[in-house]
Amino acid sequence: YFEVADGGTIFLDEVAELPTSTQVRLLRVLESGEFLKVGSSKVIKTDVRVVAASNVNIPKAIEKGDFRQDLYYRLNTVPIIVPPLRDRKDDIHLIFRKFAADFAEKYRMPPLRLTNDAVDLLKNFYWPGNVRQLKNVTEQISIIEKEKEINSIILKRYLPEGPKSDLPVLFKKQEEEHFSERELLYKVLFDMKKDVTELKKIVINLLEQESETTALEQTKALLVKDYYETPFSKPTERRETKPEFSHESYKDDDDDVYHDSEIIEESLSLQDKEKEMIRKALEKHNGKRKNAANELGISERTLYRKIKEYKIRS
């Protein structure tokens, strides 16, 4: 289009409906006056006056991210605000006569003429579709009606029935409903965030009650990790919890003989694991608490308190 309109004027209707990718290309043409045709690498220069129109509130579209702000400022050099047709009652009859003359020439027929009562009905109609609707009604009457003098009774058959309220009010109601839904969503999200925050506080309080220091928490994690990685080769002392025994057959790869193995499901109590690891560390270092504490990653004072708490013989 810009190539054909070079040296003239191009009209971009409903420019706010352009997708974002097309908006970027349009902005480049407006800024540089150059463009590339599809499938070509040759840069084409153009000098075009651009007239753009839209019935969308562009500033709101910019806030929503539907329209580029830089493109808006590039197009908005000479803004012209055209009120809706219902606010220009004196123009309605003039525009109707223009369309009637155009369709009379197009279809080779006499132009339409309106009686006074039809003119009053035409002016007082709310025209939700603005000029497009007026043009459509004029074309319908021109094609269908044999009599070219139109009174209010005939005209009324071509005007849709509906609430005689302006569209901006309906649009405002929709926006208020949308705003109400958005506020409700924000409230739900806020309540969820509040619940999560309170849950975090409860968890932190429980952790602080269970553990006196951060070092102890790290020690517990280290003990559990070490427990699963360390083979149990030495006999352990009798515990309060009774192990559950189950039998399972396994195959020896050397002699192809199946044996029964006894699997011991040991207690998963963290205190038992901690007690066991402290005992193993003391045995490994022959009762030297300092060396045992270094291996466990805790202070010697904490180790001494644990030995006393679990009544471990060192």
Q: What is the pLDDT of residues 255-270, one digit of tens each?
A: 444 444 444 444 456 7
**Local confidence band at 314 (pLDDT 50, 70, 90 cut-offs):** low
Q: What is the pLDDT of residues 68-106, one digit of tens each?
A: 999 999 999 999 998 999 999 999 999 999 999 999 999
CATH of 85-156, one of 2.40.30.160, 3.30.420.40, 2.40.128.50, 1.10.8.60: 1.10.8.60
Whether 66 has a pLDDT exceeding 50, the answer reads yes
| Whether domain 9-75 has CATH 3.40.50.300 | yes
Q: What is the pLDDT of residues 26-38, one digit of tens each?
A: 999 999 989 888 8
Sole residue written with tokens 């006894």: 262
Q: What is the pLDDT of residues 180-204, one digit of tens each?
A: 566 666 667 767 777 787 777 777 7
Of 107 and 170, the structure prediction assigns the larger pLDDT to 107
| Segment 5-23 mean pLDDT | 92
Q: Tell me, what's the pLDDT at 303?
A: 85
Whether 157 has a pLDDT exceeding 90, the answer reads yes
Q: Tell me, what's the pLDDT at 62?
A: 94
Helix orientation angle between 289-296 and 214-229, rounded to the nearest 10 degrees: 90
Q: Which long-range contacts link 240-243 to residues 24+ away (Cβ below 8 Å)?
A: 241/267, 241/269, 241/272, 243/267
Helix orientation angle between 116-124 and 89-107, rounded to the nearest 10 degrees: 110
Q: What percent of the chain has pLDDT over 70?
A: 71
Q: Residue 216, class by beta-carbon neighbours within 10 Å (0-12 exposed, 13-18 middle, 19+ buried)?
A: middle
Q: Tell me, what's the pLDDT at 150?
A: 96
| Segment 174-183 mean pLDDT | 54
3-class SS shares of the chain: helix, strand, coil, % to 5:
55, 10, 35
Q: What is the pLDDT of residues 199-228, one digit of tens each?
A: 777 777 777 665 555 555 555 555 555 555
Alpha-carbon gap, residue 132 to 121, rounded angstroms = 18
| Segment 285-296 mean pLDDT | 86
**Local confidence band at 141 (pLDDT 50, 70, 90 cut-offs):** very high
| Segment 157-163 mean pLDDT | 81
Amino acid 34 reads E
Of 197 and 237, the structure prediction assigns the larger pLDDT to 197
Q: What is the pLDDT of residues 103-134, one digit of tens each?
A: 999 999 999 999 999 999 999 999 999 999 99
**Local confidence band at 163 (pLDDT 50, 70, 90 cut-offs):** low
Mean pLDDT of all residues in the chain? 78
Q: Tell me, what's the pLDDT at 170?
A: 47
